[in-house]
């Protein structure tokens, strides 16, 4: 009992444990969903054959990776899943930036979309000031719109209202 609890407590501190676990989960999902498509025979393979096989392989690899976490740690590696200084704010900004591009681009056009996209992304930097962010967004918007809309003719209105697309 004692031993198993210490085993678990070493496992949960290991990166490879989670790495393997993620692959097992993905593999399970892929294989289970793949099994719902027609698998067919080796000679006449259905659409589900290869994905299901890949899912099973992924599960096996995941188990192997997770098992590697059982080996005693040499203490050198960075075993934490989060980086030394997590940048939640910056990560949120980076992931939200394309979302803003989609929303503003769709409903207001390319120029507002670009501005919003760069603006949000730039806020992620620790040293960003309002002024530097606005200046950067404006410069990129002017440059980007002239390059993509006039020069490369990407079919997206510069300004629109309410999602004409």
Partner 1 sequence: MIATALTDLWHGFGVALEPHNLWWCFVGVLVGNMVGVLPGMGPLATISILLPLTFGMKPVGAILMLAGVMYGAQYGGAICSILLNLPCHPPHAVTCLDGFPMTKQGRGGVALGLTVFASFVGASWGITEMIFLSPLLVRAALQFGPAEVCSLMLLGLLAGSTLARGSPLKGVAMTVLGLFLGSVGTDLETGSERYTFGLTELDDGIELIALALGLFGIAEFMSSVNQIAPINTKYTNVSLKDMRPSKADFKRAFFPMWRGTIVGSLCSLIPGTGPTIASFVAYATEKKVSKHPELFGTGLIEGVVCPEASTHSSVQGDFIPTMSLGIPGDAVMALLLGALMIQGIVPGPQLISQHPDIFWGLVASFWIGNILLVLLNVPLIGIWCKMLAIPYKFLYPSALFFVCIGVYAANNDFFQVGEVVVIGAFGYILLRLGYHPAPILLGFVLGPRFEENFRRAMLIARGDMTVFVTRPISAVFVAMCVILIGSQIYFRMRGGKSVVPDVTEHGGAAPPPIAPKLTPQRVPVTPAE
Q: Which of residues 85-114 bind partner 1 (CB under 8 A)?
A: 85, 87, 90-91, 94-95, 97-99, 101-102, 105-106, 110, 113-114
User: Of these, 25, 33, 70, 150, which contacts partner 1 (CB under 8 A)?
Assistant: 33
CB 134 within 8 A of CB 119: yes
**What is the nearest approach in angstroms of partner 1 to the Cβ of residue 100?**
9
Instruction: Specify which residues 40 forms β-bridges with.
Output: 45
Cβ neighbours of residue 121 closer than 8 Å, sequence gap 6 or more: 93, 94, 97
Q: Which of 8/95 has CB closer to partner 1?
A: 95
Q: Is 138 in contact with 118 (CB distance < 8 Å)?
A: no
- Provide, rounded to whole angstroms, the least separation between the CB of residue 123 and partner 1: 9
Q: How far is the CB of 18 from partner 1 (least distance, A)?
A: 6
Kindly calculate the radius of gyration of the chain based on its CA atoms and give it in whole angstroms: 24
Q: Does 62 bind partner 1 (CB under 8 A)?
A: yes
25 binds partner 1 (CB under 8 A): no
Among 75, 78, 130, 162, indicate the residue that binds partner 1 (CB under 8 A): 78
CB of 3 to partner 1, least distance (A): 25
- CA–CA dist 105, 160 (Å, integer): 9
Helix axis angle, 15-35 to 49-68, nearest 10° = 160
Total binding residues for partner 1 by CB under 8 A?
72
- Which residue has 């900004």 as its token pair? 93
């Amino acid at each position: 009992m004692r031993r198993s609890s210490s085993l678990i407590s070493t496992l949960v501190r290991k990166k490879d444990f989670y790495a393997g676990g993620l692959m097992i989960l993905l593999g399970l999902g892929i294989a289970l969903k793949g099994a719902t498509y027609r698998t067919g025979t080796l000679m006449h393979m259905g659409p589900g054959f290869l994905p299901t096989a890949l899912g099973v392989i992924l599960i096996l690899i995941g188990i192997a990776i997770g098992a590697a976490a059982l080996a005693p740690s040499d203490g050198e590696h960075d075993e934490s899943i989060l980086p030394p200084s997590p940048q939640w704010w910056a990560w949120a900004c980076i992931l939200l930036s394309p979302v803003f591009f989609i929303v503003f681009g769709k409903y207001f056009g390319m120029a507002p979309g670009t501005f919003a996209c760069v603006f949000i992304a730039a806020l992620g930097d620790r040293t960003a000031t309002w002024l530097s962010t606005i200046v950067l967004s404006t410069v990129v918007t002017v440059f980007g719109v002239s390059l993509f809309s006039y020069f490369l003719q990407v079919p997206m209105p510069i300004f629109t209202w309410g999602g004409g697309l």
